[in-house]
Structure 1
Amino acid sequence: MRRLLVAAGVTALALAGTAAPAAAAPAPGGAGLGDRYFPDYGNGGYDVSHYDIRLRYYPGEDRLTGTTTILATATSDLSSFDLDFILDTESVLVNNRPAGFARQGDHELVVTPSRTLSEGQAMTIVVQYSGVPSTKVAAGYTAWIRTPDGALAVGEPEEAWWWFPSNDHPSDKATFDVSVAVPDGVEVISNGVQPRNPTQELLGWTRWYWRSAQPQATYLASLAIGQYDITRDVTPDGIPVINAYSTSLPPAYDAAARASVERTAEIVAWESSVFGPWPFEAQGGVVAPPDTLGFALENQTRPNYSAAFFRAGANPYVIVHENAHQWFGDAVSVGQWRDIWLNEGFSSYAEWLWSEKQGEGTTDEIFDYLYAAEPAQFWTVPPGDPGAPRLFNGAVYDRGAMTLHRLRKLIGDDDFFTLLRTWVKRHRYDDATTARFIALAENISGRSLDDFFQTWLYTPAKPALAAAARSAAAPGVAPRSWAAIDGVHQLVREN
C-alpha cells in the first residue's frame, strides 16, 4: 500500500466533495483457476482447508453413496461458486442452508447459496450424492477403475471428480478425513493413518477410517477397495508403515511385490538423507489386482502400483520413484500442470541416484546412455512445457532427469544437493513453479542460469555437449542393469 500525505486543509476539502467508492457486487467464482493446460480445473473464489468424505460402497453394483463436507474460506464476494464433480448430486447445503445447484459442462457443479458470501467468510459445504462411478465419463474417459472385487480411485490429473466434490487443482491443498463403509470382509485403503480401527456399522457392513493430517492435493487422494492383505510396521523413528497387496496376485507377482514394497521404509530412509526429512505422517504402498491399474501413482503416503511392475521380479526402482514424489510432487506440488517435470524429472533422477548407490550404473553412465540412445523424436518435446497431450511423455521424465544431472555438473554437488533440500524446505505443503526453482538455483549457486534452463527445458532440440563433458560410455550401451531397469520404467512414465 502506498500512503499519500497531504495538508490537513486540502484533505478536508477533498473528503467533503468525494463519496466513498461503491463496494463491488458479489460475483460468481471462476469455473477454473486459469491453469495454462487445464483452464477449467479447480475453481475460483474460495480456498479449501479440509475435506470430510463419508461413503458407502456396494462392490457388486459398483454403486457409491456419500456425503462430503468441505471447509473453505471465500477469497472474494461470491454469488455462486463451482465444484469439480460428476456423480449425481442430491442436495447441497452452504452454511446450513439449502443451496441451488446445477450441472455445467462435463465436470462443473455450480452452487448458488441462499445468501451471498463475503470475502473472508467461512464456508461449510455439505454435498450428498450417489452414482455408479465407472459409468461416468468426463475429460474423455473414466478415471474410476472397477476391479473384480471392488474398485480403485487412482489417477492423474483427474481423479477426484468420480468420488468426491472438490476444488480440483494441486494449488489448493487441504487435509482429509475419509471413511468408507463396505460389506464385511472387504478392505479399504486410503491415505495417511487410521485414526481408529474399522468398526461394525450395520449388520454385514464395516466402516474403515483414514486421515491425512498434512495438506494434500486432491488428485493424490486415493481409494483401493477389495480383497487385500494388509501388513503393518513402524519405522525406527515411529512412523507407521502400512502396505496392502491384492490377494488375487499370482504367487510369483506377490513375492516380487513384497520383496519391493516391503523395502519402502529402507528406501525412504535413504531418500530422507538426500532430500531432507520425510514430510508426512505415514508410509506404505498398495499393489493393485492384476490387469487393473496400468501405472504407478504417488498417492500421498501410500503410492499405488500396477502388478505389472513386478512381472519380471522385484523392482525397487519403482518404489524409489514413487516415494521420491512424496517430496517432489506431494510435499511440493506443481503450481501449474505445465511444471510437471518438477515432479517427474526429480523422481526419475532419484532412480539414477539409487542406481549409483547400488552399484548398478553411475549417474554419469545413465546420462551418457540416454543421451546417445534416445531417438530424434524424444528431443522435440521440451520437458519444461511439453503441452497437455504430452504431460507424461518420456522426455518429461528422462530429459527432466538429464536436466538435473547437467545442472549438478554445472553448479557442483554441494550447491546441487543444497538446492534440492532447500526447495523442499521452502515450499513444503505448498505449490511452486519452474521459475521459482530457477531463481532458487541461481541464488544458491551465484550463477546466471537462464541460458542453461532455456536449452535443457524449453528448446525442442537435442542440447549440444562439449566433448569434455562426455564419459567413455559406448553409445547406445546401457550401464550394467539399466537396460532392464528402463524396460519396467516405461510403465512409470504414464504417471
Structure 2
Amino acid sequence: MLGGWPAPMPPTLADCGSGPDALAEWGDEVEMTRRSRVLAAGAALGLACLLLPAAPAAAAPDPGQPYFEPGAASIGDPYFPDAGNTGYNASHYQLDLLYDPPTDQLGAHATITARATQDLASFSLDLDGLMVHSVSVDGLEARFEHKGTKLSVTPARGVPDGRTFTTVVEYSGVPQTLALPGPAGFIHTNDGAIVTGHPRSAPSWFPVNNYPGDRASYEFNISVPDGWQAVANGLPHGTSRTPGRTVYQWEAQEPLSPHLATIAVGHFALDEYAKGGITYVDAMDPALKKTVIPRNGDGLAWSQTDDASYKRLSQTISVPDDGAEFSFWMLRDTEPGWDYAFVEARTPGEDNWTTLKDTTGIAQDSTGNSCPAWHQVHPFLKHYQSDDDGTCSAKGSTGQWWAATGTSDGWERWEFDLADFAGEDVELSITYASDITGQNDGVFVEDIQLSGGNGSTSFDSDGDRWDGWSPKGAPKGSPGNDNEWTAGSSTPPSQGYKIQQSLDKQPKMIEFLSSVFGKYPLASAGGIVDNVEDLGFALETQARPVYPMDYFYSEASGDSFVVRQLALQWLGSQVPIDRWKDSWLNQGLGTYAQWLWAEDQDPGSAQDSFDFYADIDAADPFWKFRLSDPGPDNLYSTSLQTRSAMALHAVRTEVGNKNFSKILRQWVRDGSGSPKDFRKLAETVSGKDLSGVFKAFVSTAGKPGIL
C-alpha cells in the first residue's frame, strides 16, 4: 500500500513500471477485446514514459490540489473485522463466469463500477481463496497484492473523490465452501454448485466490497457445458452459445447487498411465468420429482410418517441350531440426527431387548441430536441409551444402540448374523422412531430374507403380502402412532411434487405479504431447490432464495418457510442492515411474517406461538445471549429468529394491531434505519414508551422476567 500521492496529472515517472504482465488464460470465453484495451493502454503509457525527462526534486503537495490516500481495508464491523473496505461505493458488478462442473474450476473476470468517496491512491476488495491474474482500473494495468482475504489495488493514477471508475479483475480457481455453520456459501454439488447467503459467501467467488450497506446492481454471464443450466438473481436475459457451452445471462437491476448474491449451476428444470407484474423463475433439480418404486416386484413395506412415532414391523423367528442369516433391503429418508431406523431383538416374552449391529456397517452407535430429550417421548429407548447428565451413551438398561439416520444412497442391504440366537426363538422388529416434530418420508423395506426360509417376504401381491410380518404398534410409554406400516405399492408423493405445491403459492403469499409490508419491491421472484442434503443454513438471497429440500416434507412447513424467505425480500432490499449485529430485526420480521401467515388462516396462532416459546425454561441456552448483540455465531440461529419474533409480538401487544400494522408498512417504506430507529418509529406511531419491552426482550440476556 502506498502513502499519500499528489494529484496525478500527465504520466510521471511514478506511473512508469515494467509494462503489463501477460494475462493468464483461463478459457475461450474471456473477453479478448478487454485484454486488447488493457495491453494497448499499457503500451501507450510505456511510450509516454520513454519521453519523460528526468524527475525533478520532490515538492511539497499543493494545498489546492487533492491529496490521494489509501482506502481502509476494513469497514470496521466488530463481528467481521476483516470484511468491507472504505474509499469507494460500488454501484454495479458484471460477473463473467466460466464454470466447469466436473472439475469445480471457476474462471472469471469481474467488472466493478464504483464511485470514489475520497481521493484514492489505492483501495482493496474482498476475495478469498482464488488466484488473481490481472487487475486494471479504467483500462490501465494496476499493481495489486492478494494476501489472505484482501486484494489490494494501486491504480496507475489516483482516483479523485466523486469520480466513477471501473476495475476489472481476472481470476480463477476452485471456490471454497464455508465450513461453519456449514456447509454454506459456495457449495459444490454432485452436478455443479450452488451459492447460499452467508456474511462471508460473496468473497468466495468474486471480488467485492463485502459490506451489507454497499449495495449494487448485478449482471451475470455464466458459461456452462451444454446440458447444464445456470441460475442467478434477477431476471433472465436469454442465452448465447459457444462450441460445447451455453452462456446464461441474468440481470438484477435492483441494488442488492453482497451476501444476497447467488448463482446455481446444475441440472435444473426452469419454470418461468408472470403474474401481477412480477416475473417468477423457479429452478428445481428434476431428481427431486422421482417417486419411490419397489426395487423389484410390485410390493414393499412403508413405515409412513408421524411425529413422535415408534413403529415396529415384527415377527418371531425360530433360529436353527447352526444359526441363521437375516437380511433385507431398506430405503431410508429420515430426518438426520433426529429420526432413526434400527432392528430390535428379544427373547419372546422377556425384557432383554437390544438393537442389532448389522454386518454391513450401516447402523452406527451415534445417539445424535434427539437423545436425551426424546426419552420423555419414548421412554422405552432407555433400554438402549443412557442419559449421562445431559449427554447420551449408546448403552441402556438391557442392550446397545445401533441405528441409522438420514437419507440412504438408494436401496441398501442390511445383513445380520443371528448366531447369538441359535436354537432359540427370537422376536425381531424392523423399527422406525421419530422425535416430536419434523418428518421426512420414513423408511421402506423390501425382500426380507432368512437363510432358513421362515419369515422371508417381498411384500408382493402373492396372496399374503405380510408373510407373517405385522405392525406391532408403539411400546408402552410412547404416545401411540396415528398411522402404521403398510404393505403394497403405496408410496408418498415425490419431494419435488411437495416442493412445487409450495412454490406455486408464491403469488398468493406475495399478495398476503403486500398487505403487511406494502408493494412487493422487486421485478422478479422465485426459488432454487437442489437435491442437496443437510443444506440447513440458507440465508435469504435476493429475488431467488435457495431452499433446503428438507423443509418441504409437510405442506405447512414448506409453505411457512417460503413465506419467511419472501418476507425477507422486502427487508433485505428495502431495509438493508449496516451492521451485522442489527440483523436480529430483519430476521425477526421474517419469522414474524410466518406467524402472521399462520394467523391469517388460524386466528390467535401468533399468540399460541409466543406462548409456546415463552414456556422454555429460563436455564435453556435458548435465552443465553442478547438480541441486540448476539455475537457472530448466533446471527442466524433459530433462537435468534424466534426470540426476535417474540420481541415483535410483545411490541404488537403493547401498541395494538392497528398501530403495529402501520409501523411495519412505514418501516419498509422509509427504507433504512437501525433497530434504535425502529423503536423510535414504534413509539412515535403508538405514542407509547416501549423502553421496558425493548429492555426485556432485546437488550438483556436471559428469559424476560415478564414471561
Same fold by TM-score greater than 0.5? yes
Superposition map of 1:226-305 within 5 A: 226-235=266-275, 237-249=276-288, 250-251=290-291, 252-291=494-533, 293-305=535-547
Q: Deviations over 1:65-89 (max 9, x none)?
A: 1111111011011111110012111
- Residue 698 of structure 2 corresponds to residue 462 of structure 1: no
Q: Deviations over 1:376-433 (max 9, x none)?
A: 2222221121011221233311110011001011111121111111111101xxx531
> What SS does the corresponding residue of 2:573 show, helix, strand or coil?
coil
> What SS does the corresponding residue of 1:305 show, helix, strand or coil?
coil
Q: Deviations over 1:19-78 (max 9, x none)?
A: x96767322111111113112211100001111111111111101111111110110111
Q: Does the aligned pair in 1 maintain the 2:218–2:253 contact within 8 Å?
A: yes
Q: Runs ≥4 in structure 1, deviation > 3 angstroms? A: 20-25, 134-142, 311-314
> What SS does the corresponding residue of 1:340 show, helix, strand or coil?
helix
Q: Identity across aligned pairs (percent)?
A: 37
Q: Does the aligned pair in 1 maintain the 2:184–2:195 contact within 8 Å?
A: no
Quote how far apart the aligned CAs of 1:439 are. 1.8
TM-score by length of 1: 0.85
Structure with bigger helix share is 1
Residue of structure 1 equivalent to 2:197: 155
- Residue 191 of structure 2 corresponds to residue 191 of structure 1: no
Quote how far apart the aligned CAs of 1:144 are. 1.5
Residue of structure 2 equivalent to 1:31: 73
Residue of structure 2 equivalent to 1:446: 687
Q: Does the aligned pair in 2 maintain the 1:147–1:292 contact within 8 Å?
A: no
Distance 1:374 1:190, change over 3 A: farther
Quote how far apart the aligned CAs of 1:357 are. 1.1
Quote how far apart the aligned CAs of 1:291 are. 1.4
Quote how far apart the aligned CAs of 1:175 are. 0.5
In the alignment, the residues of structure 1 paired with residue 514 and residue 685 of structure 2 have an alpha-carbon distance, to the nearest angstrom, of 21
TM-score by length of 2: 0.60
In the alignment, the residues of structure 1 paired with residue 638 and residue 549 of structure 2 have an alpha-carbon distance, to the nearest angstrom, of 21
Residue of structure 1 equivalent to 2:146: 103
Q: Does the aligned pair in 2 maintain the 1:95–1:124 contact within 8 Å?
A: yes
Residue of structure 1 equivalent to 2:623: 379
Q: Deviations over 1:230-284 (max 9, x none)?
A: 111111x221111111122243211111111221111111101111000001011
Q: Does the aligned pair in 2 maintain the 1:276–1:421 contact within 8 Å?
A: yes
Distance 1:154 1:52, change over 3 A: same
Q: Does the aligned pair in 2 maintain the 1:107–1:138 contact within 8 Å?
A: no
In the alignment, the residues of structure 1 paired with residue 515 and residue 179 of structure 2 have an alpha-carbon distance, to the nearest angstrom, of 43
In the alignment, the residues of structure 2 paired with residue 268 and residue 424 of structure 1 have an alpha-carbon distance, to the nearest angstrom, of 15
In the alignment, the residues of structure 1 paired with residue 268 and residue 282 of structure 2 have an alpha-carbon distance, to the nearest angstrom, of 9
Runs of 5+ consecutive residues of structure 2 not aligned to the other structure: 1-61, 292-493
Work out which of the residue numbers 339, 347, 363 in structure 1 matches 2:606. 363
- Residue 643 of structure 2 corresponds to residue 399 of structure 1: yes
Q: Does the aligned pair in 1 maintain the 2:197–2:261 contact within 8 Å?
A: no
- Residue 678 of structure 2 corresponds to residue 434 of structure 1: no
Whichever of the two has the greater Rg, that structure is 2
Q: Does the aligned pair in 2 maintain the 1:383–1:395 contact within 8 Å?
A: no
Residue of structure 1 equivalent to 2:90: 48
Q: Deviations over 1:183-230 (max 9, x none)?
A: 1111111111012x2221x11110001111111011111011000111
Quote how far apart the aligned CAs of 1:113 are. 0.8
Superposition map of 1:19-168 within 5 A: 25-86=67-128, 87-104=130-147, 106-134=148-176, 143-168=185-210
Q: Does the aligned pair in 1 maintain the 2:121–2:155 contact within 8 Å?
A: yes
Quote how far apart the aligned CAs of 1:320 are. 0.7
In the alignment, the residues of structure 1 paired with residue 603 and residue 268 of structure 2 have an alpha-carbon distance, to the nearest angstrom, of 33
> What SS does the corresponding residue of 2:651 show, helix, strand or coil?
helix
Runs of 5+ consecutive residues of structure 1 not aligned to the other structure: 1-19, 467-495
Quote how far apart the aligned CAs of 1:146 are. 0.5
Q: Deviations over 1:98-132 (max 9, x none)?
A: 0011123x311111111111111111111111111
In the alignment, the residues of structure 2 paired with residue 223 and residue 382 of structure 1 have an alpha-carbon distance, to the nearest angstrom, of 34
Count of residue pairs brought into register by the alignment? 441
Quote how far apart the aligned CAs of 1:436 are. 1.6
Letter in 2 for 1:422: Q
Q: Does the aligned pair in 1 maintain the 2:503–2:562 contact within 8 Å?
A: yes
Deviates more, 1:292-301 or 1:402-411: 292-301
Q: Deviations over 1:319-343 (max 9, x none)?
A: 0111110112332111100011122
Distance 1:333 1:67, change over 3 A: same
In the alignment, the residues of structure 1 paired with residue 150 and residue 193 of structure 2 have an alpha-carbon distance, to the nearest angstrom, of 24
